[in-house]
Structure 1
Amino acid sequence: MAAVLVTGMSGAGKSTVLAELARRGHPVADTDLGGYVQSVPVPGRAEPERLWRADRIDALLDRYAADTLFVAGCVANQGRWYPRFAAVVLLTAPIDVLLARVAARPTNPFGRTAAERARIVADTAAVEPLLRAGATLEIDTRRPVPDVVRVVTAAAR
């Protein structure tokens, strides 16, 4: 199996990279879609925690066990599945780039309000170092998309 996880903060380019991989004929799964994520209440926090549903992620990875599959997502429990991925690719960009991207993207409304932008800033400071610690490869997505996709594709080998 050569499943590759493409992860990163909001605006890092996960959806863009996945779309280009799909355009090139690669199997892809965006875990923000299709019921892969559940929201779980966290005591003392106003916002629930986004977690992968184990049954759905396991079934997805089992279904593509003989193929290369590119999976995109960023949830609190994704590290549980790192052993099942050939590579964990962290997409990064400076915070000003992330905020500009989320403000302009047509496909996802998250990041348009001041509160959501503040959350992106806070999450990037708190979560991105954790993602970096578990990643096998980090790519700055200020590079042209074809270059990023070429590196992500190579990570599957």
Structure 2
Amino acid sequence: MKRVLITGMSGTGKSSVIEELVARGHHAYDLDTPEWSQWVDTDPADMLTPAQGRDWAWREDRVRALLSKPGDGMLFISGCAENMRQLFFLIDAIILLSAPVATIMERLAMRSSGYGQIAEERQKVCQLISTIEPVLRKSADYEIDTTRPINATVDEILRIL
């Protein structure tokens, strides 16, 4: 089974891509949910976290078990967590989703729930884009701009794989 990580900053469309992949019959999981990830305490002085003294981390045992399952076809996971690099050895391809800051801010402001719906969180995302996104870009095999419709983004993901 080919294991594909779809990553990116909040508001780039990771969850929407996973929903579309599931609708098309693919094995796909959004790891930015409490089932797969959790808030962990960090150094309050660390400015590279989404919340002061708190960071989002994968539940490594659960994600490792998911990525270790045998099977055919492709397995898609999406998310962005401080500890995801520790499981890169189980991942065959990494796709970075990106979008202009204005687009990301607009998407986050429209959320009815989840991270980024309040102004302080959007401001933090804006700050993190300049520091975290370049790190994500270095580990990515592909980058896709998500300013187009979601079905076109998913079509491109499937084409490049």
Instruction: Report the TM-score, using the length of structure 2 for normalisation.
Output: 0.88
Give 5+ residue unaligned stretches, structure 1. none
Tell me which residue corresponds to 2:147.
142
Using the alignment, how far apart are the partners of 1:23 and 1:58 within structure 2? 24
Match status 1:93 vs 2:92: no
**Structure 2 Cα separation of the partners of residues 64 and 127 of structure 1:** 32
Residue 115 of structure 2 corresponds to which residue in structure 1? 110
Identity %: 37
CA RMSD of aligned residues (A): 1.6
Aligned-pair CA distance for 1:155? 4.0
SS, match of residue 153 in structure 1: helix
Moved over 2 A (4+): 43-47, 63-67
Task: Please name the residue that 1:33 is paired with.
Answer: 33
Pairing 1:70–2:70 present: no
AA of the residue aligned to 1:114: A
Deviations 1:63-96 (A, max 9, x none): 2554411101000111122222221000000110
Q: How many residues align?
A: 155
Residues 8-29 of structure 1 deviation map (CA, whole Å, 9 limit, x = unaligned): 1111000111111111000111
Query: Residues 15-72 of structure 1: CA distance to partner in whole angstroms, max 9, x if unpaired?
Result: 1111111110001111122521122211234331211122111111122554411101
**Correspondence 1:151 to 2:153:** no
Q: TM-score, normalised by structure 1?
A: 0.90
| Alignment-mate amino acid for residue 44 of structure 1 | P
- Indicate whether 1:128 and 2:124 are aligned: no
